[in-house]
Structure formats: C-alpha cells, structure tokens
Amino acid sequence: MRLSILDRGQTIGTRALFAFIRAVSRQPVLDVVKMAAYRPDFYGRLMQAVTHEAMRGPSTWSVGDRELMAAVVSKANECEFCVNAHTATAARAYGDGVKVAAALSNLETAPIEEPLRVTLRMLRTLTREHTVGPDDMRTVLAAGVSRTQIEDALAVCFAFNVVNRLADAFEFFVPEPDAFEAGAKYLLTRGYR
C-alpha cells in the first residue's frame, strides 16, 4: 500500500476489529477493506452504498452475472487484485469456476448466454476505450438485453472503474488465493456494505 495511512491510519476500534478478523479467519484483512475503513465518512461509507446497490440491489442480472462483469471490467483495467477477488466471487456465485475462467480468457468462445456476452463486450469497450457509442448499445439491445439491464450493467462498470483505479494507484497487496476465497464468501453472504 503506497499510503501508510491506509494501512495503519484507521481508528483504534477499527484496527482492533481487524486484529480480531485476522485471528479468527487466519487471513489477512484485504487492502480494499482497509481503504474503505479509512476516514469512511469521506469515501468508504457512501461508495459502499453505491457498490452494494449495483452488485446486490434489484436487477434481473444474477449476482454471478454481476460479479463476472466486475471481473471483466477489472481485467480490462489490468487490476490484478480486483480480477482475483471477483473471479473467486463469480465462480462461487455460479458454482462454476470453469465458466468464469473461460469468460475471462476468451469472451467470444465462453459457454455463456449471448445477452451476457454482448453486455460484457460493451463494458470491456467502455472500460478500455473510455467511451461507447449508440451503435455499441444497439448491438446489445438487439441481443435481447433490456434498457434497464444495460443501465444496471453500467452501474456495475461505474463501481469497478472507481475501485480498480484506487487498487492500482494505492497498490493493494495481492494475497494468496485463500484470502480471496474468504473474501468471496463474505461478499456473497454480507454484500458490500
């Protein structure tokens, strides 16, 4: 972590909670959690509400679909921490790690439904190119994705375009897979709040 305040600047109560979590889970506290808990009144609390709404709020996309979107956006941003975190969470949500791995390695041949595929492709373009046009959206709509589903996918994209940037800029430590598995379990039971 490039800023020591994000590692050690939380309140005494929060740091005590982190020590407790480390002891009980035998896993490191993920840097994304430490960041959200640093001056949560400035960023963490309100942004977690956005992310929770996008990832767990009402939507016809499943939780697995939205976690896969998060992983694909993170990959487009080359954010290793977030790719690992949301690959693990999508795999657990779907109960199908092979499908998630396939979607991340080759979106065009992965065994996923066409509406999800074209949506992921659009999110990848928006993330990589920083822009999309009406034609990109017409392609998605033509595959049977509703306007509301596109709006929901854009909200997921927003949340991860924020956190990918922070993970890269602050250089979140990338722990062993076990830590991301523990994180995935947490995200699927408690969400992002």
Instruction: For the CB of residue 97, give the shortest distance to other proteins in the complex, in Å.
Output: 25
Q: How far apart are CA 193 and CA 52, in angstroms?
A: 6
The structure tokens listed for 140 are 């998605």
Q: Which CB atom, from 26 or from 165, has the smaller least distance to other proteins? A: 165
> What is the distance of C-alpha 159 from the center of its chain?
8
Q: Which CB atom, from 92 or from 117, has the smaller least distance to other proteins? A: 117
What residue has token string 């979590």? 21
Instruction: For the CB of residue 147, give the shortest distance to other proteins in the complex, in Å.
Output: 6
Amino acid at 22: R
Q: Which CB atom, from 102 or from 150, has the smaller least distance to other proteins? A: 150
Instruction: For the CB of residue 28, give the shortest distance to other proteins in the complex, in Å.
Output: 21
Q: How far apart are CA 144 and CA 150, in angstroms?
A: 11
Write the Ramachandran bin of 191: left for phi over 0, alpha for psi from -120 to 50, otherwise beta. Answer: left
Instruction: For the CB of residue 25, give the shortest distance to other proteins in the complex, in Å.
Output: 26
Closest to 54 in 3D by CA, of 79, 26, 73: 73
In this structure, the chain runs to a length of: 193
φ, ψ dihedrals at 39, nearest 5°? 40, 60
Instruction: For the CB of residue 141, give the shortest distance to other proteins in the complex, in Å.
Output: 6
Q: Which CB atom, from 51 or from 89, has the smaller least distance to other proteins? A: 51
Interacting residue ranges for other proteins, rule: CB under 8 A: 2-6, 9, 38-39, 41-43, 46-47, 49-50, 53-54, 57, 77-79, 126-127, 130-138, 141, 147-148, 150-152, 154-155, 157-159, 161-166, 168-171
Q: Which CB atom, from 158 or from 173, has the smaller least distance to other proteins? A: 158
Instruction: For the CB of residue 120, give the shortest distance to other proteins in the complex, in Å.
Output: 14
Classify residue 135 by its DSSP letter: H
Q: Which CB atom, from 5 or from 16, has the smaller least distance to other proteins? A: 5
CB 84 within 8 A of CB 99: no
